[in-house]
């Protein structure tokens, strides 16, 4: 059994949705494009899962957040794919790939061949077992990567109302889920090994603002330690978590957000890998010229960092996907991807944006007692990164613009004094 396509997108997440949209904009013919996804639904905006999806009232549900509503573009429902002659092969895992023969073998036993393959397999959540802790399969332990996880989390939250949750991990999932738990009237304790939350990006000063805000909402923090085991009752229901420092925290439910691993296993030994992802050039093309990689799974050259990076954020997934399709469909008109990293989050009434690279000296500015403050990162005498909480559209655009311009900074004190004004007047 087999089918043949000109273009195949492997994976049906954010990057797949945006790539399909770009293929259509660039005139793909009916029957040329196929998307194969393990998930049972058409590509959707994954960020909704830790935000609107978890709200107790009027939660976001599909089909409302299919791609590309995240950028205020058209919503690609299953009908849209049908109308454009795109084959959606859903609920189907690809279990092996042969890049030499240009074939994919699905778990249902079908062989699908391609001329050009776009790998958009994203990443999977790391499991506690990978850190030597058993119990991930317990009923009230939740991870959050896909729609099935989100549905499970909603059910567990509903049955834990008024109870205690322990959130393991102080990164994006930990911070966004902790906020959602509070909104669902569940008592939250966050546990993570670092000295402060969001250690990959936030400075101690920025982190302490968010931690104090969370504490005012009732969230407790246990820092500098990790989970070692769970306690269970006679029905195998979790009753508590035990930490390395000896603390025992009662728990009706647990959310684990301890990072991800890119889904590269199909291509190990076939494509060049770097920094955990599939290494691609500025056209998002891998070491095999018929295979492109985009989104969380791709390691690509980032100009502002002067190195290759693998980014785990939605803007990068959307734009790398569009760029790869441009390079595939109109190679002569497409130059190298010139991407400015952009990360953001929204929790409670807070909202921040970050652009660029968080390396070098940090210059904080603004009112850390109010709700509008930020920071610049200055490396080798140039602004390379900018962060802003509580900004307006114009202010966010200004920090994005100066980060791209990388202005030279002679006096760090002067930059601190000017603060946001520096970005607004440049």
Q: What is the DSSP letter of 18?
A: H
Could you tell me the smallest distance in angstroms from the CB atom of residue 216 to ligand NAD?
21
Reported residue count of the chain is 426
252 near ligand FDA, judged by CB under 6 A? no
Distances (CA, A) of 53 to 59, 61, 84, 133, 146: 5, 6, 29, 28, 11
Q: How far apart are CA 138 and CA 235, in angstroms?
A: 11
The smaller minimum CB distance to ligand FDA, of residues 95 and 217, is found at 95
Which of 295, 356, 385, 391 binds ligand FDA (CB under 6 A)? It is 295
The smaller minimum CB distance to ligand FDA, of residues 87 and 416, is found at 87
The smaller minimum CB distance to ligand NAD, of residues 17 and 419, is found at 17
The smaller minimum CB distance to ligand NAD, of residues 227 and 297, is found at 227
Structure tokens at 165: 């949750």
Could you tell me the smallest distance in angstroms from the CB atom of residue 193 to ligand NAD?
5
Could you tell me the smallest distance in angstroms from the CB atom of residue 93 to ligand FDA?
4
Structure tokens at 151: 């549905």
Task: Give per-residue burial for 351-379: e unless 16+ CB within 10 Å, then b.
Answer: ebbbbbbbebebbebbebeeebbbbbbbb
312 near ligand NAD, judged by CB under 6 A? yes
CA-nearest of 318, 343, 412 to 120 is: 318
Q: Return the range that interacts with ligand FDA (CB under 6 A); candidates 57-65, 118-126, 282-290, 384-392.
A: 118-126
171 near ligand NAD, judged by CB under 6 A? yes
Tokens 């647990």 label which residue?
254
Q: Angle 14-25/314-329 helices, nearest 10 degrees?
A: 30
Could you tell me the smallest distance in angstroms from the CB atom of residue 239 to ligand FDA?
27
Q: How far apart are CA 79 and CA 60, in angstroms?
A: 20
Q: Return the range that interacts with ligand NAD (CB under 6 A); candidates 15-23, 74-82, 95-103, 167-175.
A: 167-175
34, 86 contact by CB (below 8 A): yes
122 near ligand NAD, judged by CB under 6 A? no
Residues that bind ligand NAD (CB under 6 A): 50, 131, 168-174, 176, 192-194, 199-200, 226-227, 257-260, 312-313, 343, 345
Residues that bind ligand FDA (CB under 6 A): 11-16, 36-39, 46-47, 49-50, 93-94, 120-123, 144-145, 263, 266, 295-297, 312-315, 317, 343-345
């Amino acid at each position: 059994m087999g089918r043949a396509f000109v273009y195949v997108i492997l994976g049906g997440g954010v990057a797949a949705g945006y790539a399909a949209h770009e293929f259509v904009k660039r005139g793909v013919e009916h029957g040329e494009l196929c998307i194969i996804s393990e998930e049972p639904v058409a590509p959707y905006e994954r960020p909704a899962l830790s935000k609107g999806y978890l709200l107790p009232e009027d939660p976001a549900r599909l089909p409302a957040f299919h791609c590309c509503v995240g950028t205020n573009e058209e919503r690609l429902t299953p009908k849209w794919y049908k109308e454009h002659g795109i084959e959606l092969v859903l609920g189907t895992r690809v279990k092996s790939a042969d890049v030499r023969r240009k074939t994919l073998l699905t778990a249902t036993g079908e062989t699908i061949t391609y001329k050009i393959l776009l790998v958009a397999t994203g990443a999977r959540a790391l499991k506690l077992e990978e850190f030597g802790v058993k119990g991930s399969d317990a009923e009230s332990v939740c991870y959050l990567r896909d729609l099935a996880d989100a549905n499970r989390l909603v059910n567990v939250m509903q049955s834990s109302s008024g109870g205690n949750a322990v959130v393991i991990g102080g990164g994006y999932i930990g911070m966004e889920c902790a906020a959602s738990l509070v909104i669902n009237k569940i008592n939250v304790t966050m546990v993570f090994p670092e000295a402060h939350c969001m250690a990959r990006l936030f400075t101690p000063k920025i982190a302490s603002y968010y931690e104090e805000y969370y504490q005012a909402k009732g969230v407790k923090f246990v820092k500098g330690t990790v989970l070692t085991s769970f306690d269970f009752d006679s029905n195998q229901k979790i009753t508590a978590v035990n930490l390395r420092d000896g603390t025992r925290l009662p728990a009706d439910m647990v959310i684990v957000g301890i990072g991800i691993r890119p889904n590269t296993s199909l291509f190990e030994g076939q494509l060049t890998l770097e920094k955990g992802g599939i290494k691609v050039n500025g056209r998002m093309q891998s070491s095999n010229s018929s295979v492109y990689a985009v989104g969380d799974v791709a390691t690509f050259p980032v100009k502002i960092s002067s190195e290759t990076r693998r980014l785990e954020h939605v803007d990068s997934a959307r734009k790398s996907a569009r760029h790869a399709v441009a390079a595939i469909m109109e190679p002569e008109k497409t130059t190298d991807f010139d991407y400015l990293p952009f990360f953001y989050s929204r929790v409670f009434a807070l909202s921040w944006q970050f652009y660029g690279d968080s390396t070098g000296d940090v210059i904080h500015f603004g009112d850390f007692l109010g709700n509008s403050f930020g920071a610049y990162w200055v490396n080798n005498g140039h602004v390379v990164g900018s962060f802003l909480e509580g900004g307006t559209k114009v202010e966010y655009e200004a920090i994005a613009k100066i980060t791209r311009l990388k202005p030279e900074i002679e006096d760090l004190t002067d930059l601190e004094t000017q603060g946001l004004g520096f970005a607004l007047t440049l």
